[in-house]
Structure 1
Amino acid sequence: MFALIAYPGHAFAQSSEPAEQEAEQEAEDTQYGNTIIVTAQRREENLQEVPAQITAFTADMIEDASIRSTQDFVNLTPNMSLDSSDTYNNTFVVVRGVTQINNADAPVAIVIDGVPQNDQKQFNMNLFDVERIEVLKGPQGALYGRNAIGGAVNIVTREPTDYLSGFAMASYGRGDAVNLSAGISGPLGTDNIKFRLSGVYVTDNGRINNTFANENVDFVDHDYTIRGRITADAADWLELDLRGSYRDFDAGSQFDSVVFSGDANDFVNPQNNLIGFTTGEQWDLTFKADADLGFATLTSITGYNDVSEVNRGDLDFRNPVDSPGGFLGLGIQVGQGQDRFVELFSQELRFTSPDDQPVRWIAGVYYLNTQRALRTRGFVDLDGTFEQIDNPALLLIDRQEANEFDSYAVFGQLDVDLTDSLTLSAGLRYDRDDREQTDLATNNVRSASYDSVQPKVTLTYNFDDEKLLYATYATGFRSGGFNAPGVALDSFEDETLENFEVGFKTTLANGKLRFNGAAYLSNVNDFQFFFVEAATASQIISNIDRVRLFGFELEAQYFPRSDLQFFAALGSTDSDIREITVFPGNEGNRTPKTTRYTVNMGAQYTPELSDDLDGFFRIDYEHRGDRFWQVDNVDVQEPLNLLNFRLGIENDTFGVYFWGKNITGERFFTDFNPREFSGLDIDIGFRGQPATYGVEARFNF
Structure 2
Amino acid sequence: MKSERRVKHQRFRQAVLGGFIFLATCKSHAALEATPAPPHEAASEVTVTATRVPEPVDRIPVSISVVSGGELRARDAWEMASALSGVSGVEAPAGGDAGPSSAVPSFWGLHEFDAFLLVMDDIPWGGAFNPAIPTLNLNDVQRVEVLKGAAPVMYGATSFVGVVHVLHYPAGKAADTADLALGNYDSARGSAAFALPRWSNYRQSFAASGESHGFADKREKVSDGRLLYRGALDVGRGQLQMDVSASLVRDVPLSPVIREGTALTRRTPLDANFNPADAGIDENKLQLTIGYSHPTPRGTWATLASFSRSHVDDVRAFLHPDLSGAADTQNQNRTILDDYLDTHLASHFGRATLLVGADLLYGYGRQTTLNGNNAYTVPLDGSVVPPPTTQLPVNEIGYVSDKRLFAGQYVQLDWKPDTRWDLAAGVRLNETRDSKFVSDLTLPPFTPTRQYAAQQASRDNIRPTETLGVSDRVWVDGKDEAVLYADYRNAFKPAALDFGPDDGRLSYQAEVFHMDFNNLVVRTESGLLTNAAAERLKGAELEARYRIRDDLIVVANYAYHDARFTQYRLFDSDANAYVDVAGKQLPLSPRHLASAGILYAPPHGFNTTLVLTYAGRRFLDEENVAPVGGYAKCDATLGYSVGHYQLSLEGSNVTNQRPPVSASEFGSESFYRMNARTLWVRFAYQEL
Residue type at the aligned position of 2:110: V
1:518 maps to 2:537: no
Residue type at the aligned position of 1:66: D
**Which of 104, 107, 131 is the matching residue for 1:95?**
107
1:336 maps to 2:336: no
**Which of 601, 604, 608 is the matching residue for 2:599?**
604
1:23 Cα deviation (Å)?
4.7
* Secondary structure in 1 matching 2:53: coil
1:280 maps to 2:283: yes
Residues 696 and 25 of structure 1, relative CA distance in 2, 3 Å threshold: farther
What aligned pairs does 1:178-577 form with structure 2 within 5 A after superposition? 178-190=188-200, 192-208=201-217, 216-220=218-222, 222-235=223-236, 237-260=237-260, 262-264=262-264, 268-272=270-274, 274-275=276-277, 276-316=279-319, 325-327=324-326, 333-354=327-348, 357-379=350-372, 380-381=374-375, 384-388=386-390, 394-440=393-439, 444-465=455-476, 466-480=481-495, 508-527=501-520, 544-577=532-565
1:54 maps to 2:40: no
Measured against aligned partners, the alpha-carbon deviations of 1:155-211 in whole angstroms (never above 9, x if no partner) come to 11112327x984211111111221111123234321x10111211111023222xxx
1:553 Cα deviation (Å)?
0.9
1:590 Cα deviation (Å)?
1.5
Distance in 2 between the 1:528 and 1:648 partners?
50
Q: Is the 8 A contact 1:525 1:544 kept in 2?
A: no
Distance in 1 between the 2:209 and 2:62 partners?
33
Distance in 2 between the 1:382 and 1:620 partners?
43
**Which of 671, 677, 681 is the matching residue for 1:685?**
671
1:373 Cα deviation (Å)?
0.9
User: Equivalent residue for 2:155?
Assistant: 144
* Secondary structure in 2 matching 1:511: coil
Residues 265 and 147 of structure 1, relative CA distance in 2, 3 Å threshold: farther
Distance in 1 between the 2:319 and 2:433 partners?
36
Distance in 2 between the 1:541 and 1:308 partners?
28
Q: Structure 2 stretches of 5 or more lacking a match?
A: 1-25, 31-35, 378-385, 441-452, 572-578
Residues 660 and 352 of structure 1, relative CA distance in 2, 3 Å threshold: same
* Secondary structure in 1 matching 2:104: strand
Cα RMSD over matched residues?
2.9
1:419 Cα deviation (Å)?
4.2
Distance in 1 between the 2:471 and 2:37 partners?
24
**Which of 142, 151, 156 is the matching residue for 2:167?**
156
Distance in 1 between the 2:351 and 2:282 partners?
52
* Secondary structure in 2 matching 1:71: helix
Q: Structure 1 stretches of 5 or more lacking a match?
A: 6-20, 209-215, 328-332, 485-506
1:556 Cα deviation (Å)?
0.7
1:25 Cα deviation (Å)?
6.8
Residues 437 and 557 of structure 1, relative CA distance in 2, 3 Å threshold: same
What aligned pairs does 1:587-602 form with structure 2 within 5 A after superposition? 587-602=582-597
Could you tell me the TM-score, scaled by structure 2's length? Answer: 0.83
Distance in 2 between the 1:545 and 1:77 partners?
29
Residues 396 and 626 of structure 1, relative CA distance in 2, 3 Å threshold: farther
Residues 631 and 194 of structure 1, relative CA distance in 2, 3 Å threshold: same
1:129 Cα deviation (Å)?
0.9
Measured against aligned partners, the alpha-carbon deviations of 1:20-79 in whole angstroms (never above 9, x if no partner) come to x975578xx8xxxx6422222212122233222222111211111211012222322222
Q: Is the 8 A contact 2:262 2:627 kept in 1?
A: no
Measured against aligned partners, the alpha-carbon deviations of 1:262-296 in whole angstroms (never above 9, x if no partner) come to 51486833252624311111111111111111431
Q: In the comparison of the two structures, how many residue pairs are matched? A: 616
Higher RCO (CA < 8 A, seq sep 6+)? 2
What aligned pairs does 1:96-175 form with structure 2 within 5 A after superposition? 96-101=108-113, 106-117=114-125, 118=127, 119-120=129-130, 122-124=132-134, 125-161=136-172, 166-175=176-185
Q: Is the 8 A contact 2:232 2:241 kept in 1?
A: yes
Residues 695 and 411 of structure 1, relative CA distance in 2, 3 Å threshold: same
Q: Is the 8 A contact 1:231 1:242 kept in 2?
A: yes
1:80 Cα deviation (Å)?
1.7
1:337 Cα deviation (Å)?
2.4
Residue type at the aligned position of 2:560: S
**Which of 581, 604, 615 is the matching residue for 1:586?**
581
Could you tell me the TM-score, scaled by structure 1's length? Answer: 0.82
Distance in 2 between the 1:422 and 1:194 partners?
39
Residues 284 and 95 of structure 1, relative CA distance in 2, 3 Å threshold: same
1:100 Cα deviation (Å)?
2.7
* Secondary structure in 1 matching 2:171: coil
Residues 366 and 273 of structure 1, relative CA distance in 2, 3 Å threshold: closer
1:154 Cα deviation (Å)?
1.2
Distance in 1 between the 2:140 and 2:468 partners?
35
Q: Is the 8 A contact 1:142 1:429 kept in 2?
A: yes
Distance in 2 between the 1:426 and 1:596 partners?
32
1:630 Cα deviation (Å)?
3.0
1:238 Cα deviation (Å)?
0.5
User: Equivalent residue for 2:604?
Assistant: 613
1:524 Cα deviation (Å)?
1.2
Residues 269 and 172 of structure 1, relative CA distance in 2, 3 Å threshold: same
